[in-house]
Amino acid sequence: MKFGKEFVSQMVPEWQEAYMDYNSLKVILKGMSRFKQLNESSAPMASTPTGSLKRKLTLYRAFSGLNGRQRGSRGRRSEDEVIPVRAKGGEGSERLYQTMFLKPPEEGAQQDLLFFNKLDHEFNKVNSFYQKMVKEVAEEADMLSRQMNALIALRIKVDKVEFRNVATNNGTSTSTSMNHHINDARPGHVIHEVEMSNGSENYEEGFRPASLEILDHVKINMNTPETPLSTIKGLLLSSKSDQSFSKKELRKAEEQISIALKEFYHKLRLLKSYSFLNLLAFSKIMKKYDKVSSRNASQDYLKMVDSSHVGSSDEVHRLMERVEHAFIKHFANGNHRKGMNILRPTAKRERHRTTFLLGLLTGCSIALIVALIILIHARNILYSEGRTRYMENIFPLYSLFGYIVLHMIMYSANVYLWRRYKINYSFIFGFKEGTELGYREVFLLSSGLAVLSLAAILSNLDMEMDQRTKSFSALTELVPLGLVIVLLLITFFPFNIIYKSSRFFLVRCAFHCVCAPLYKVNLPDNFLADQLTSQVQAFRSLEFYVCYYFWGNFKTRSNKCLESEIYKTLYLIVAIIPFWIRCLQCIRRLLEERNMMHGLNGLKYISTLVALVMRSTNELDRGMVWKVLAATSSSIATIANTYWDIVIDWGLLRRNSRNPWLRDKLSVPNKSVYFVAMVLNVILRLAWMQSVLGIKEAPFLHRTALTALVACLEILRRGIWNFFRLENEHLNNVGNYRAFKSVPLPFNYEEGENNRTL
């Protein structure tokens, strides 16, 4: 892989604008190279061939000595060498660097001036950004140090440890012994920090326990509304509470500081990588310049780069060592391997087993689809007597799996495209490092579910009932119910199989959605609730499962669900729930953030709720009035939702942007993709017109099949929406250089209280 591509692939996505613009500098060098070639080709040619002349001239070139240094040349500078770079301005981030030439202006020198102007601009940008980030991490290190001091004091307070210092007789060294009086102490909770000294090792101080006076100047933040119960208590009761210094508070504080240290260490690693990559890029581009211009400019320029802040500062390295030492000692009980495994989790590897199973299950799915088509054609099932009974009773059961499989396939495509266009979806969603599913894993799950559901369909495709019993086989009729039960068991039960951490992440987000607005709304919860709004027919299929198997006669493939008023009422309620969840999330964010955009978003979902109720009522043949109300409300909701999708969620249709009617920053180079997506969004949102216009059955499609087709179109629309929604979120993070999670800290210090740093 060429360095330019490798350089881009290793960038921190949210910092990409702060890296050196390697490609633009290469473009300038290519222009210089072309200009040089044109000059050489236009020069008058001598009778002697150029190559022969060069070989002859080398016979008369001055000898520079075997040690590479020409006598009498010490202290002299080559005629075509660039002078050292001068620093302008003050200290720190105020200092700027500028390059000047020794040689007077000549033909073609404009290209060199352009190159070095651009190079200086890029270096100053990199150096300033690095200085700013180092200053930030230094301040964060000081804050974390104060948190650690409070944590250690809290450990001593909670575990009730007493210390007794004993001085040695010789007076030259100090040893420490500890007398523990621990009530219900837990192993590993009290860090045994006995400093050993022997022989040549000399320590400035022995064991020194943290002062408990720190706890008099801090407040423990343990009342964050993280559960529905704590949220309700926060609303009904006073937020003030006495500090009990309990083990529960200690465990919570340890967990929060441990996460904060891991995030801080991750930031330091990326900052170190940022410095290394940019220094390497400057070295590479200067060597290319020397090669193109036949000059010796890289030595002086790179000497300046090495002496600058980004090239010479070792503060990040020292902080990394201190964080490693603190984390191993205080959170790994001195176990170096364990501590480093937590701080530096191994990168996730692509497994051949996953690829093999993916190919196997995909092939099986295709084979089953082909077998299903052949069977339908061979038995002339589309025109058999049992077709209507099958479509009204069995097809809605299996359509549930079709909705899930299609949504998973779309998400798999989203993950592939997010990775391809460097959209940091794992950071945006807050996945634990190394546990996020790639597109292969998601597609593997979807193909596995497709194989199970297609095999079940083949086993359940009998159209004619047994004339002797007037019923179908109970075993095959229970296949869909059994498949749903297996799917629910795998999803919700804590079996350590099939990507347990990802399943629990999904379940936790789903629980937060169900409990809205009692949980603080974050992007994963928000995103999942939006996915649920596109799975209305899936929820209605689950409702049909309950009605069919508990109140219908599944052996004769008959039900009276549509005749039940309870079923009709639930039919509306089930469809409303996802949109109501999003509305409650918007209200929660409006109250917390005081941003009226969340209120407008809530009104948008209310308009969708009204339109959905009107359309669902119209489907029950309530008359012309309901049809007009359904058409009117659906039109208003479609306009509002389309505008919000394209302008707010996608950030497009910016009239004064660099890319007309799009936005300034785009991840996909082909701009037509965005216009196609906007048109598709509008078209697919108009699928509701099918129900309003009374189109209930096509010549070759049953009513339930047409309903399933419209539901699939909505899932496709949501898949397209997902990519551009996350792209816009990613670009907002890039614009603000947000590459790390903000971790809440357990202790609040009173103003003026200072503590030593790491």
CA 325 distance to own-chain centroid = 29
Residue 81: what pLDDT? 52
Residue 485: what pLDDT? 94
Provide the 8-state DSSP code for 647: I
Q: Inform me whether the pLDDT recorded for 71 exceeds 50.
A: no
Higher pLDDT, 458 or 623: 458
Q: Inform me whether the pLDDT recorded for 405 exceeds 50.
A: yes
- Residue 109 CA: distances (Å) to CA of 121, 284, 286: 18, 21, 17
Predicted confidence band of residue 70 (pLDDT cuts 50, 70, 90):
very low
Q: In sequence order, what are the beta bridge partners of 314?
A: none
pTM over 0.85, yes/no: no
Residue 244: what pLDDT? 67
Mean pLDDT of the 402-431 span: 94
Question: Among the listed ranges 44-48, 141-145, 350-354, 517-521, which one has the minimum average pLDDT value?
Answer: 44-48
Angle CA 305–276–309, to nearest 5: 40
Residue 750: what pLDDT? 66
Residue 245: what pLDDT? 73
Give residue 564's region: left, alpha or beta (phi > 0; psi -120 to 50). Answer: beta
Is there a contact between 746 and 222 (Cβ–Cβ < 8 Å)? yes
Peptide bond into 49 cis (omega under 30): no
Residue 692: what pLDDT? 62
| Secondary element (H or E) of residue 153 | helix 109-159
Phi, psi (deg, nearest 5) at residue 723: -60, -50
- Residue 312 CA: distances (Å) to CA of 86, 95, 617: 17, 15, 71
| Secondary element (H or E) of residue 747 | strand 747-749
- Residue 224 CA: distances (Å) to CA of 3, 513, 525: 47, 18, 18
Residue 624: what pLDDT? 81
CA distance 553 to 142: 70
Give the type of residue at 400. Answer: L
Residue 697: what pLDDT? 60
Question: Among the listed ranges 368-377, 419-428, 449-458, 616-625, which one has the minimum average pLDDT value?
Answer: 616-625
Predicted confidence (pLDDT) per residue in 129-141, tens digit: 999 999 999 999 9
Q: In sequence order, what are the beta bridge partners of 178?
A: 163
CA distance 501 to 434: 10
Q: Inform me whether the pLDDT recorded for 394 exceeds 60.
A: yes
Q: Inform me whether the pLDDT recorded for 726 exceeds 90.
A: yes
Chain position carrying tokens 């050196």: 20
Is there a contact between 330 and 148 (Cβ–Cβ < 8 Å)? yes
Residue 274: what pLDDT? 93
The pair of structure tokens assigned to 448 is 């596995």
Q: In sequence order, what are the beta bridge partners of 558?
A: 553
Give the type of residue at 457. Answer: I
- Residue 676 CA: distances (Å) to CA of 684, 720, 725, 726: 12, 10, 15, 18
Residues with Cβ within 8 Å of 665's Cβ and at least 6 positions away in sequence, in order, are: 731, 734, 735
Greatest mean pLDDT among 432-436, 564-568, 677-681 = 677-681
Q: Inform me whether the pLDDT recorded for 219 exceeds 70.
A: yes
Q: Inform me whether the pLDDT recorded for 482 exceeds 80.
A: yes
Q: Inform me whether the pLDDT recorded for 699 exceeds 90.
A: no
Higher pLDDT, 317 or 63: 317
Predicted confidence band of residue 176 (pLDDT cuts 50, 70, 90):
very low
Residues with Cβ within 8 Å of 731's Cβ and at least 6 positions away in sequence, in order, are: 651, 663, 665, 667
Predicted confidence band of residue 174 (pLDDT cuts 50, 70, 90):
very low
Predicted confidence (pLDDT) per residue in 259-305, tens digit: 899 999 999 999 999 999 999 999 999 999 888 887 777 888 888 88
Is there a contact between 257 and 148 (Cβ–Cβ < 8 Å)? yes
| Secondary element (H or E) of residue 87 | strand 86-88
Predicted confidence band of residue 190 (pLDDT cuts 50, 70, 90):
very low
Predicted confidence band of residue 177 (pLDDT cuts 50, 70, 90):
very low
Residue 214: what pLDDT? 78
Q: Inform me whether the pLDDT recorded for 676 exceeds 50.
A: yes
Is there a contact between 477 and 557 (Cβ–Cβ < 8 Å)? yes
The pair of structure tokens assigned to 425 is 């979806």
Q: In sequence order, what are the beta bridge partners of 219?
A: 748
Mean pLDDT of the 621-636 span: 83
Give residue 631's region: left, alpha or beta (phi > 0; psi -120 to 50). Answer: alpha
Mean pLDDT of the 405-422 span: 95
Residue 147, Cβ neighbours under 10 Å: how many? Answer: 22
Largest CA distance in the chain: 115
Which stretches of 594-623 are DSSP H helices? Answer: 596-618
CA distance 192 to 181: 14
Predicted confidence band of residue 527 (pLDDT cuts 50, 70, 90):
very high
Residue 636: what pLDDT? 92
Q: In sequence order, what are the beta bridge partners of 174?
A: 167
Mean pLDDT of the 353-369 span: 94
CA distance 230 to 519: 9
Residue 182: what pLDDT? 31
Q: Inform me whether the pLDDT recorded for 348 exceeds 90.
A: no
The pair of structure tokens assigned to 559 is 């039900």
Helix axes 596-618, 624-643, angle to 10 degrees: 150
Residue 42: what pLDDT? 62
**Burial annotation 710-728 (CB, 10 A radius, 16+ → b, else e):** bbbbbbbbbbbbbbbbbbb
Residue 7: what pLDDT? 87
CA distance 15 to 32: 29
Mean of per-residue pLDDT scores for the chain:
81
Residue 203: what pLDDT? 38
Predicted confidence band of residue 171 (pLDDT cuts 50, 70, 90):
very low
Q: Inform me whether the pLDDT recorded for 746 exceeds 70.
A: yes
Phi, psi (deg, nearest 5) at residue 662: -120, -115
Provide the 8-state DSSP code for 84: P
Is there a contact between 629 and 669 (Cβ–Cβ < 8 Å)? no
Residue 703: what pLDDT? 85
Is there a contact between 404 and 538 (Cβ–Cβ < 8 Å)? yes
Closest CA to 519 of 758, 283, 228: 228
Predicted confidence band of residue 82 (pLDDT cuts 50, 70, 90):
low
CA distance 76 to 70: 11
